[in-house]
Amino acid sequence: MNQVNIDLIAGARPNFMKIAPIIRALQEAEKNGSKLQYRLVHTGQHYDRNMSDQFFEQLGIPEPDVNLGSGSGTQAEQTARIMMAYEKLLMEQPADLCLVVGDVTSTLACSVAAKKLGIKVAHVEAGIRSYDLTMPEEINRMVTDSITDYFFTTSEVANAYLRRTGVEQDRIFFVGNTMIDTLLHHRKDFRKPEIWDEAGLEQGKYIVMTLHRPSNVDEESTLIDLIRTIIDHSRNLPLVFPIHPRTRKVLEHSGLDHPRLLQVDPLGYLEFNYLVERAAAVITDSGGITEETTVMGVPCMTLRANTERPETIDIGTNELLGTNPDAIPASMEKLFSGEWKKGSIPPLWDGHTAERIVEHLENIFQ
Ligand code: UD1
């Protein structure tokens, strides 16, 4: 085969850190005469500066070659808009492989559009499952994996799941975690956000909180209950709360205010992880953050009933609290008494995952 044209799909914030190291590894390969060529496709699912552009700049991601400009909407509207725009692109300028990452709407939409045009699909972060079909992400994972040709995985649990569902071993590539490639690559560049000096934050003496799952934030009373319980049980520690647009929309009406609750706009990658690395703990309902806290050894309380990333609990520093605020007090006590588990780093989360992915792609398309 001559040149191999790979579409790299990025749509929403958690995609950007997963795609950045793959681009770097492909650029490196190109210098060495590789046949692998990429086209970066931004679906436009996230479009605010602080949800998208800022990440491109900080992570050194080049300007997308194409922006599908899909914008917001319901799950079906967003999916449909991305599929229509991506299908059109592929019909005008085809690719040999569509590489998707993670579990967002863009992941599902682009993999389906490509596969229906007979284009191979590679899925980075394949095979992880929460078994919770109320999460749009779980449906995205299931559909994407059902049509994936090449599965790049982050854990043995994912490998075992894929094998159990009949995926042949030679299509499963256990490579590690590209999100951790980005974390380790940029760790030396983390930078102090403005809130650090403004609020007089001190290492180990504050908590970082993020909430954006529909089940936690879409109902105002649920969200307020969670936040109030966290405030009531976090002793005298400031709570730094970068607020996702979805959560902001709900909070705007609530008038919630407390002197220790530091409400800020979504932070850049470097600023956010500066805070996480130095925090006493993180309280979150994100999946990706539980991986980052695991690698940085920071106690993490997850406000979800389940996780698709069990290694962050079995090996890492994460604990699942569920979504009932009643679990928060005991967990805070454990933190304050210094009994939080220490944890270690899952296999192959070593900063070299993207290089392994590119090596496999070279072999697949040789
Ligand atoms: C999406 C992902 C989720 C990921 C999260 C991280 C899906 C199904 N979900 O959820 O897995 O953890 O991103 O951020 O893909 N909005 C803006 N500006 C933006 C982007 C969104 O204001 O740049 C608003 C939208 O109008 C919408 C809300 O935020 O009302 C939610 O955005 P959406 O992309 O639908 O899903 P997320 O909740 O961000």
Alpha carbon nearest to ligand 1 atom 18, residue: 48
Catalytic residue positions? Answer: 212
Evaluate whether residue 343 is within a structural domain: no
Evaluate whether residue 296 is within a structural domain: yes
For helices 288-296 and 178-186, give the axis angle rounded to 10 degrees.
Answer: 50
In this structure, is the dihedral angle defined by the CA atoms of residues 264, 265, 266 and 271, taken in order, positive or negative?
Answer: negative
**221 and 299 within one domain:** yes
The pLDDT tens digits of the residues spanning 316-359 come to: 999 999 999 999 999 999 999 999 999 999 999 999 999 999 99
Positions of the chain with pLDDT lower than 50, given as ranges: none
The ligand 1 atom at the shortest distance from the C-alpha of residue 214 is 38
Comparing C-alpha atoms, which of 38, 34, 106, 118 is closest to residue 68? 106
**265 and 161 within one domain:** no
How confident is the model at residue 49, as a pLDDT? 96
**164 and 119 within one domain:** yes
How confident is the model at residue 185, as a pLDDT? 98
**332 and 201 within one domain:** yes
How confident is the model at residue 255, as a pLDDT? 87
Evaluate whether residue 68 is within a structural domain: yes
Does residue 288's CB lie within 6 angstroms of at least one atom of ligand 1?
no
**248 and 199 within one domain:** yes
Does residue 246's CB lie within 6 angstroms of at least one atom of ligand 1?
yes
What are the b/e assignments for 206-244, b being 16+ CB within 10 Å? Answer: bbbbbbbbeebbeeeebbeebbebbbebbeebbbbbbbb
**197 and 326 within one domain:** yes
Does residue 165's CB lie within 6 angstroms of at least one atom of ligand 1?
no
Q: How many domains does the chain have?
A: 2
Q: Which of 78, 210, 246 to mutate to test the pocket of ligand 1 (most atoms within 8 A of CB)?
A: 246
Measured CA to CA in angstroms, residue 47 lies from 7, 44, 51, 318, 352 at distances of 20, 6, 6, 30, 29
How confident is the model at residue 194, as a pLDDT? 98
Query: Residue with structure tokens 């990025």?
Result: 10
Taking the centre of ligand 1 as the mean of its atom positions, its distance from the CA of residue 246, in whole angstroms, is 7
**160 and 207 within one domain:** no
Rounded to 5 degrees, φ, ψ at 168 are -65, 145
CATH number assigned to the domain comprising residue 257 = 3.40.50.2000
Per DSSP bridges, beta strands 172-174 and 150-153 are: parallel
340 neighbors 317 (Cβ within 8 angstroms): yes
Distance CA 123, CA 145 (A): 7
**241 and 299 within one domain:** yes
Evaluate whether residue 186 is within a structural domain: no
Evaluate whether residue 309 is within a structural domain: yes
Structural domain including 252 reads 191-336
How confident is the model at residue 1, as a pLDDT? 57
**200 and 279 within one domain:** yes
